[in-house]
């Protein structure tokens, strides 16, 4: 009886917060050791974080400061605070408004056409056929080509009026019918914006294909089999099952493509040098710096482009995060 009655008393004294209360002591030391362990885990990331801040945020902060200043290389004595005059000049500039409209038109055209072509190619690559692995590997190759090299190839190898591929094919087709005077349009002077769009579409269609192919492979096979059992044809299955499932993948590909196409500089500079109405926002910022040497105005233009890109990137990140949410929470 003595042993039975002492056990509850021992438990009571142990739980009453006496000197032997190990949960209280170990709990406090656990929190301290947990905080130290957290810092130990984060410490190796600090150099990378500091490097990122120094390489990205400090230059942007300097650009933001210069955007509020009169800072022109041709007039070194006129440096000073300008307030919002640079931003006012940006929104009043006809050239900038034209380049902004060109940027929107170029981005929308390239992204939409690349999405349509990417969806069609992804549907074909999702089928089983001989050599599918090799074709899937090769289809991404245009996206891996250096942008300047791709632009130079299209300028001299595709659009050249005398030795380009397009006019060569036209001459060959006309020759089949006995015509020795085929048309030889100068694509870069007659269709400058279309030339830039074709090069960007060729470059970005594989990127869209890669994302959309991943979306097609994530479809539920049970749902597809049930639709086939119910007698749904290919078009009905695509419109009612595949397309709703691919909505977020289409949004993701479109938003990511928009972020990069908005910032495109290589194709415009290499193919047309911004002439004949092809100058977009990045090229306009470039000409403001290197031609007018007006760093204050160019910084204001750059800040506006960055803000617009951040807005698009925010939408893209929200789409990415929604892909990882449960199906019922979307």
Structure confidence at residue 32 (pLDDT): 52
Q: What is the mean pLDDT of residues 269-275?
A: 91
Structure confidence at residue 26 (pLDDT): 47
Beta bridge partners of 80: 70
Burial class (CB in 10 A: 0-12, 13-18, 19+), 324: exposed
CA 115/CA 270 separation, integer angstroms: 25
Structure confidence at residue 192 (pLDDT): 93
Question: pTM for the whole thing?
Answer: 0.74
On the question of pLDDT at 282 being above 80, the answer is yes
- Most confident stretch, 17-21, 76-80, 260-264: 260-264
Angle, CA 26 vertex, CA 20 and CA 28 arms, to 5°: 115
Average pLDDT over the chain, rounded to whole?
Answer: 81
Helix ranges, the chain (H): 2-15, 22-42, 46-52, 58-66, 85-92, 94-125, 132-139, 141-144, 147-153, 165-176, 187-190, 192-217, 221-229, 234-237, 243-245, 247-262, 266-267, 281-290, 295-323
**Percentage of residues in the chain having pLDDT higher than 70:** 85
**275 Cβ partners below 8 Å, 6+ apart?**
192
**Percentage of residues in the chain having pLDDT higher than 90:** 21
Q: What is the mean pLDDT of residues 306-316?
A: 76
Long-range contacts of 304-307 (CB under 8 A, 24+ apart): 304/87, 304/90, 305/262, 305/263, 305/281, 306/60
Structure confidence at residue 324 (pLDDT): 55
Structure confidence at residue 42 (pLDDT): 80
- Tens of pLDDT, residues 110-166: 999 999 999 999 999 888 888 888 888 888 888 889 999 999 999 999 999 888 899
| Backbone angles phi and psi of 104, in degrees to 5 | -65, -45
- Tens of pLDDT, residues 228-257: 887 878 888 888 888 888 888 888 888 888
On the question of pLDDT at 196 being above 50, the answer is yes
Looking up tokens 């290197």 gives 290
Specify the CATH number of the domain 94-329. 1.10.3720.10
């Amino acid at each position: 009886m003595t042993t039975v009655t002492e056990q509850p008393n021992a438990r009571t004294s142990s739980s009453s917060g006496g000197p032997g209360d190990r949960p209280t002591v170990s709990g406090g030391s656990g929190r301290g050791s947990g905080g130290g362990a957290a810092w130990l885990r984060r410490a190796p990331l600090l150099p990378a974080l500091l490097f990122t801040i120094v390489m990205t945020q400090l230059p942007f902060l300097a650009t933001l400061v210069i955007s509020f200043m009169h800072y022109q290389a041709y007039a070194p004595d006129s440096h000073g605070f300008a307030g919002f005059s640079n931003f006012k000049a940006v929104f009043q500039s006809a050239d900038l408004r034209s380049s902004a409209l060109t940027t929107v038109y170029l981005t929308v055209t390239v992204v939409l056409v690349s999405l349509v072509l990417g969806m069609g190619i992804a549907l074909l690559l999702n089928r089983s056929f001989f050599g599918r692995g090799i074709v899937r590997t090769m289809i991404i190759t245009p996206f891996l080509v250096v942008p300047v090299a791709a632009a130079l190839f299209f300028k001299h190898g595709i659009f050249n009026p005398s030795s380009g591929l397009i006019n060569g094919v036209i001459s060959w087709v006309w020759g089949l019918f006995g015509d020795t005077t085929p048309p030889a349009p100068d694509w870069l002077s007659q269709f400058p914006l279309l030339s830039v769009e074709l090069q960007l579409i060729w470059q970005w269609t594989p990127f869209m294909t890669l994302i959309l192919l991943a979306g097609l492979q994530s479809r539920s096979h049970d749902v597809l089999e049930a639709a086939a059992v119910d007698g749904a044809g290919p078009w009905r299955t695509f419109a009612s099952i595949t397309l709703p499932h691919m909505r977020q993948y289409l949004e993701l590909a479109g938003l990511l493509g928009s972020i990069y196409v908005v910032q495109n500089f290589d194709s415009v500079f290499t193919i047309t040098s911004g002439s004949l109405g092809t100058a977009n926002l990045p090229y306009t910022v470039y000409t403001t710096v290197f031609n007018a040497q007006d760093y204050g105005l160019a910084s204001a233009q750059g800040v506006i482009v960055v803000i617009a890109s951040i807005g698009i990137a925010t939408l893209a990140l929200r789409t990415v995060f929604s892909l990882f949410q449960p199906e019922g929470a979307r």
